[in-house]
Amino acid sequence: MNRHLPLAAAILASAIGIGAAWSQSAYDMRALAALSDAELMKLPAKKVFSSFALPTTGMKSRPIGFYAKGCQSGAVALPVDGPAWQVIRLSRNRNWGQPQLVTLLERLATEAQASDGWNGLLVGDMSMPRGGPMPSGHASHQIGLDADIWFTPMPDHRMTVKEREDIKPVVLAPTRHGVDKSVWSEAVARLLKRAASYPEVERIFVNPPIKAALCKWATGDRSWLAKVRPYYNHNYHFHIRLACPPGAPNCRPQAPVHTKDGTGCGEELAYWMGNAPWKRIEHPPPAPKPTKPVKPPAPLTLASLPAECRAVVTAE
């Protein structure tokens, strides 16, 4: 008889929604380790991964799986304060990533501050300590290679924990038709160009009018613009995505960026500035009358993540 069984049972009970609140403690890890493979695989992945306050300690740093379906081992934290950045929303504990991501953010922050007229980075969500699907906010950010940076420049003072929770972002693209001219600046354009110019960075997501403004602004070598991808929901922050680093055999790469014109400023941007991609969001078709009660989709379980994520969950 395993002495952790009552707790393991509580975790299972919580996972299938019959009481017992999900608790956060190191003890949970032992409880998880005590579960059989079959039991573990049935747990909702976002509940399991959001219960970890710390990364794995004995495993090599690795992104595992895909940006929107995976986990990470050996993550490191971006320090909440640096010479050219501050992490916000500390209560979320999402300032974790692969060492390559942390190094990249520190470099971008210091170089943009030194050369682009950008005061410093406000860093929002990266990944949870062991990655995995988040209980709120993102489909990706699961393998320690994604980070959200606000378009709000860093304030001149070191913010309190409360300020970091309460701060409201400035919105660079308040509508899908254009940027707010009072927020747009040369400095933000230079910051985005710099971020897109690092070879490790594979994609940067921004709302379409921000890409349009960059296409208008850029002169000389414009090839970096191809990496700047127009997408929904990036009007107050941009999203940096690193390519799978070398020596990460279980990292599943995304198809390389391909644009017809080498920048994506032509046809592709025209599509995103048109109505077509937004129709579904702005005018969703009326839901058909259900003939029988609709079951909500089942949450992603551990079984649907790469097998290596099981070790990440049970590791110390």
Nearer of residues 112 and 145 to Zn ion, judged by Cβ: 145
Q: Where are the alpha helices (DSSP H) in 138-297?
A: 161-166, 186-197, 208-217, 267-273, 276-282
* Choice between 148 and 202, CB closer to Zn ion: 148
Residues 247-306 that bind Zn ion (CB under 5 A): none
As measured in angstroms, the least distance from the Cβ of 201 to Zn ion is 13
Q: Show the tokens assigned to 254.
A: 């995304």
Task: Identify which of residues 40 and 132 has a Cβ nearer to Zn ion in the complex.
Answer: 132
Q: Cβ 134 to Zn ion, closest distance in Å? A: 10
Indicate whether 239 belongs to the interface with Zn ion (CB under 5 A).
yes
CB of 37 to Zn ion, least distance (A): 32
Q: Which is nearer to Zn ion, 2 or 233 (by Cβ)?
A: 233
Structure tokens at 257: 């960026």
| Number of amino acids touching Zn ion (CB under 5 A) | 2
Closest-by-Cβ residue to Zn ion is 239
In the complex, least distance from residue 16 CB atom to Zn ion, rounded to whole angstroms: 30
Q: Which listed range, 5-13, 30-38, 218-226, 233-241, lies at the site for Zn ion (CB under 5 A)? A: 233-241
| Maximum Cα interatomic distance, the chain, rounded to a whole number of Å | 70
DSSP code of residue 153: P
- Work out whether 202 is an interface residue with Zn ion (CB under 5 A): no
Rounded Cα distance, 144 and 147, in Å: 8
Instruction: Take residue 260 and report the two structure tokens written for it.
Output: 């017809």
CA triple 120-122-127, angle to 5 deg: 130
28, 116, 148, 268: which one binds Zn ion (CB under 5 A) = 148
Decide: helix, strand or coil at residue 158: coil
Of residues 193 and 239, the one with the C-beta less far from Zn ion: 239
Degrees, nearest 5: CA angle 269-270-273: 85
CB 141, min distance to Zn ion, A: 6
Gyration radius of the chain over CA positions: 21
Question: Residues, the chain, total?
Answer: 316
Whether the Cβ atoms of residue 171 and residue 209 lie closer than 8 Å to each other: no
Which CB, 10 or 77, lies closer to Zn ion? 77
241 binds Zn ion (CB under 5 A): no
Side chain identity, residue 106: E
Give min distance, CB of 310 to Zn ion, in A: 26
User: Closest separation between CB of residue 140 and Zn ion, Å?
Assistant: 7
* Alpha carbon distance 99, 262 (integer Å): 30
| Interacting residue ranges for Zn ion, rule: CB under 5 A | 148, 239
